[in-house]
Amino acid sequence: MAIYHLSAKPISRASGRSAVASAAYRCAIRLTNERDGLVHDFTRKEGVEHTEIVLPQGVTADWALDRSVLWNAAEFSENRKDARVAREFEIALPHELSAEGRLEAARTFAQDLANRYGAAVDLAMHAPHEQGDVRNYHAHVMMTTRQVGETGLGEKTYLEHKNARLLSNGMATTDMQLRDIRQSWESIANSELQREGLDIRIDHRSHAERGLELSPTEHMGVHASQMQRQGMAVERARLDHEAAQRNAELIREKPEQVLTLISNEKSVFDRHDIAKTLHRYINDDAQMFQNAFVSVMASPVLVELQAERIDQETGEVSKARYSTLEMVDLEFGMSQSAERLHRAQNHGVDQRHVGRAMERQDVAIRKSAGNPSAGLSDEQRHAIEHITGPERIAAVVGF
């Protein structure tokens, strides 16, 4: 199941960190902090799949594409000993996506940040560690705290302004901006999941915002992961025992809480999806897990869409498929509404308007391509005619 994770944190001298050292570590390279002369060499670090620097659209700043130049400029642009020299976003990349899909989603998020704040954004994508969770694809996205220009870094981005200044100028507070960024990542990731035909979605909202009482799991940070790989004792439990016990009791009383979590991510699911979700909220206690699983499977909210089937010729097993009453009712209502709208033949566009619009588009395409025979394809014309027909609803599937 795809899990939402986005954390934002400043890279500040007050905590003994530097932008140069952080960039060297994230990208597994060797950089020298020219401000203090310290060399940061992480070339032996493994697992970095892709790195790139993204600039705002329309901004020409080739100098900023050199990682050493960029982050040393960030260091020299701040004089205070407790200055914030960069801001980092860490995002979990859905492991269900292809490698190309993960790259496209991470790159789109980085570009969105760059355009939103006029900043330079340094993207580093990491693969799961061999000794860790094989689903832990993630990206570190470092952003300058100042706007990037043709010759250097300029004014502070408005994400770094104090709330009093933001409010006095009618702008969103820092918390509001971060909420918007969280929602933006949800939209970007879900669009890519949809593009790859995956019936999976992530949700940026907290459990409380979704009306869920389950104690959420904690993300094991980079330092805990490093300690574990070095053989040091790290608490691997997703929850402390008391929280897991509370979750188990809640699931027995309200199994629909688990089904709500699953259906927010997938409209149709199987027993394995239920088990994976339970494992996130109940630590490795076999009896506790079994009791919770039985409660969920017996819930009146659960709907079996397809029973398990075995192909008599091949012996292949088709898993049982489930959904929830709420999702079935919702989709049934949508289907009925679509049927009614499709039967209503009163929403057509005059074909003269459609024809003229397509002619204008053909002219624009020819002009752009410099080809007098270019224009809309037959498939594109058919799609336009279809959605401008008399029915009150029409759909075109494609990207």
Domain match, 313 and 393 both:
no
Domain match, 36 and 66 both:
yes
CA distance linking residue 104 with residue 147, whole number of Å: 24
Q: What is the pLDDT of residue 398?
A: 72
Domain match, 316 and 255 both:
no
Neighbours of 69 (CB within 10 A): 14
**pLDDT > 90 fraction of the chain, expressed in percent and rounded:** 63
- Residue 390, domain member (yes or no): yes
Whether 220 has a pLDDT exceeding 70, the answer reads no
Q: Do the Cβ atoms of 105 and 188 come closer than 8 Å?
A: yes
Domain match, 115 and 21 both:
yes
Q: What is the pLDDT of residue 154?
A: 95
Domain match, 37 and 129 both:
yes
- Residue 372, domain member (yes or no): yes
Whether 222 has a pLDDT exceeding 70, the answer reads no
Domain match, 290 and 155 both:
no
Whether 225 has a pLDDT exceeding 50, the answer reads no
Q: What is the pLDDT of residue 240?
A: 65
DSSP string, 298-314: T-TTEEEEE--EE-TTT
Domain match, 48 and 61 both:
yes
CATH no. for residue 161?
A: 3.30.930.30
- Residue 156, domain member (yes or no): yes
CA distance linking residue 138 with residue 170, whole number of Å: 34
Number of folded domains that form the chain: 4
Predicted confidence (pLDDT) per residue in 258-277, tens digit: 898 888 888 899 999 899 88
Q: What is the pLDDT of residue 233?
A: 42
Q: What is the pLDDT of residue 236?
A: 39
Predicted confidence (pLDDT) per residue in 376-392, tens digit: 999 999 999 999 999 99
In this structure, of 142-146, 217-221, 317-321, the range with the lowest mean pLDDT score is: 217-221
Whether 232 has a pLDDT exceeding 80, the answer reads no
Point out which residues pair with 7 in neighbouring strands: 90
In the DSSP assignment, the letter for residue 132 is: S
Whether 8 has a pLDDT exceeding 60, the answer reads yes
Domain match, 278 and 322 both:
no
What's the angle, vertex CA 285, arms to CA 279 and CA 286, rounded to 5?
90
Q: Do the Cβ atoms of 230 and 222 come closer than 8 Å?
A: no
In this structure, of 123-137, 156-170, 175-189, 322-336, the range with the lowest mean pLDDT score is: 123-137
CA distance linking residue 308 with residue 320, whole number of Å: 4
Q: Tell me the average pLDDT of the chain.
A: 88
CA distance linking residue 202 with residue 210, whole number of Å: 13
CA distance linking residue 136 with residue 299, whole number of Å: 31
Residue at a domain's end among 276, 300, 324: 300
From the number of C-beta atoms within 10 Å of its C-beta (0-12, 13-18, 19+), residue 60 rates as exposed
Whether 339 has a pLDDT exceeding 70, the answer reads yes
Size of the chain in residues: 399
CA distance linking residue 265 with residue 3, whole number of Å: 9
Higher pLDDT, 193 or 219: 193
Extract the tokens encoding 369. 């391509």
Higher pLDDT, 301 or 226: 301
- Residue 293, domain member (yes or no): yes
Residue at a domain's end among 134, 162, 195: 195
In this structure, of 27-41, 68-82, 272-286, the range with the lowest mean pLDDT score is: 272-286
**105-108: long-range contacts (C-beta < 8 A, 24 or more apart)?**
105/188, 105/189, 105/191, 105/192, 106/50, 106/139, 106/141, 107/52, 107/54, 108/188, 108/192
CA distance linking residue 265 with residue 323, whole number of Å: 11
Q: Identify the three-state secondary structure at position 227.
A: helix
302 phi and psi, to 5 degrees?
-80, 135
Extract the tokens encoding 38. 């310290």
Domain match, 329 and 355 both:
no
Q: Do the Cβ atoms of 295 and 317 come closer than 8 Å?
A: no
- Residue 219, domain member (yes or no): no
Predicted confidence (pLDDT) per residue in 304-319, tens digit: 999 988 888 888 888 9
- CA within 13 Å, CB half, 122: 25
49 phi and psi, to 5 degrees?
-90, -35
Domain match, 81 and 155 both:
yes
- Residue 231, domain member (yes or no): no
Question: Which range marks the domain in which residue 243 is found?
Answer: 237-300
Q: What is the pLDDT of residue 312?
A: 81
Q: What is the pLDDT of residue 314?
A: 84
Whether 238 has a pLDDT exceeding 60, the answer reads no
Predicted confidence (pLDDT) per residue in 356-372, tens digit: 999 999 999 999 888 98
- Residue 227, domain member (yes or no): no
Domain match, 170 and 91 both:
yes
- Residue 209, domain member (yes or no): no
Domain match, 165 and 275 both:
no
Q: What is the pLDDT of residue 2?
A: 67
Q: How confident is the model at residue 251 (pLDDT cuts 50, 70, 90)?
A: confident
Q: What is the pLDDT of residue 3?
A: 78
